[in-house]
Amino acid sequence: MAHRVTGVLIFFFLFVHVLDTALVRVSPEAYDKVVATYKTPIVALLEYGLVAAILFHALNGLRVIAVDFWSKGPRYQKQMFWTVMGVWVVLMLGAIYPVLGHAARVLFGS
């Protein structure tokens, strides 16, 4: 279920991203205003959520492929799921500073 939810969320992000990028042709000033809102701490949290969704979807997708195409995949499905979750947590911890560092500096100073 989480794989499907993250897939839909990523799709909607890509849709909005295409729309806001297309805005540059319609009104460069409006595009600049939209891009300026992306530098707020709230949007940084949303970006962290996007990273979480993409990483989970990618790692779980590899697990789904292994379950489908590896003859022993169904037998090790539970272990592979917990491995995916462990790798996901480690990668998400590593993404905290690169994604949220600017937001922390804005909120708490340098």
Q: Where are the beta strands (DSSP E) in the chain?
A: none
Residues with Cβ within 8 Å of residue 11, at least 6 apart in sequence: none
What is the chain's length? 110
Element (H, E) at 66: helix 41-69
3-state secondary structure of 30: helix
C-alpha–C-alpha distance, residues 70 and 22, integer Å: 42
Instruction: For each of the domains in the chain, give its residue range(s) and CATH number, in order of start.
Output: 1-109 (1.20.1300.10)
For residue 40, what pLDDT band results from cuts at 50, 70 and 90? confident
Q: Which two tokens stand for residue 24?
A: 């540059």
Chain mean pLDDT for the chain: 92
- Entry pTM: 0.83
Q: Average pLDDT for residues 28-41, to the nearest whole number?
A: 88
